[in-house]
Amino acid sequence: MSEEIQSSIGRVVRIPGNHISPKYDMNYLRQKRDQGGAREFDVVLPLTSMIDMFSMLVIFLLLNFSATGEAFFVNKNITLPSAKNATPIESLPLISITEKQVSLDSEIVGSNPVTIDLKDQEMPALRASLARLKTLIKNQEEGGIPVKKGINMQADENTDVVYIKRVMNILVSEGFGKINFVTREELSKKRPGEVTDPSSSDSI
């Protein structure tokens, strides 16, 4: 880097730099050499983009936030039909009707689902599980524990209704009249002043 000196006669005298052409001065290397080779450890991270990313993430996740805390597992082999006017689902025993089998997820049998052959018309395994479920509900009610009544039912949208009706027949004959058909929410425009459906009464 050349320095400028004011001479006694008023003229500016420039002391030439290390090289005739400034392009080849290599000032950075000379500076490193003069400093003794010490590295600078002060690194400034650009945080603006990181904060932008976090802001977008928080806003997106806030939109998907749910405070109900109830989990629901959709069988991977099932494509649920969509509905615009359905109500939020409750945590109840779930019957899953797939292409090959019917299963009942219930607290009675722990984490192992009860599978029933689809060709079986009477479904004794399902009847037995429903009888156990009824006994459990009765014991809980006698013990003063509030019990939610009803059954959730999920099936693939292409399932023939004959399989649905067969399971429904068994549910009704065992005393489980309140059946909730599980659906996928389809967003719709609600008309102003429209009131949603009040919950139906229990049947057990």
Partner 1 sequence: MGRKAVNVELNMTPFIGLFALLVVNLLLTAVWNQVTALSTNTQNSTAAAESDPPPKDQVNLTVTILQSSVEMAENSNGVKVPHIGDKVDAEGIERTLSQWREKYPKRRDVVLNTENGVSYKMLITTFDTLTGAGWYDVGVSSQ
Which residues of this protein are in contact with partner 1, per CB under 8 A?
47, 50-51, 54-55, 57-58, 61-62, 64-67, 69, 72, 74, 80-90, 150, 152, 155-162, 164-165, 168-169, 171-172, 177-185, 188, 197-201, 203
Q: What is residue 122's DSSP assignment?
A: S
Q: How far is the CB of 44 from partner 1 (least distance, A)?
A: 11
- Identify which of residues 72 and 117 has a Cβ nearer to partner 1 in the complex: 72
- Identify which of residues 53 and 109 has a Cβ nearer to partner 1 in the complex: 53
- Identify which of residues 7 and 158 has a Cβ nearer to partner 1 in the complex: 158
| Residue 45, both tokens | 């991270």
| Residue 149, both tokens | 């009544």
- Identify which of residues 80 and 147 has a Cβ nearer to partner 1 in the complex: 80
Q: How far is the CB of 76 from partner 1 (least distance, A)?
A: 12
- CA angle in degrees (0–180, nearest 5) for 154-165-88: 35
Q: How far is the CB of 105 from partner 1 (least distance, A)?
A: 14
Where does residue 74 fall: left (phi above 0), alpha (psi -120 to 50 degrees), or beta otherwise? beta
Q: How far is the CB of 90 from partner 1 (least distance, A)?
A: 7
Are the C-beta atoms of residues 74 and 103 closer than 8 Å to each other?
Answer: no
Q: Which of 155, 153, 184 is nearest to 83 (CA)?
A: 184
User: How many Å apart are CA 92 and CA 85, to the nearest integer?
Assistant: 20
- Identify which of residues 46 and 143 has a Cβ nearer to partner 1 in the complex: 46
Q: How far is the CB of 61 from partner 1 (least distance, A)?
A: 4
User: How many Å apart are CA 117 and CA 126, to the nearest integer?
Assistant: 10
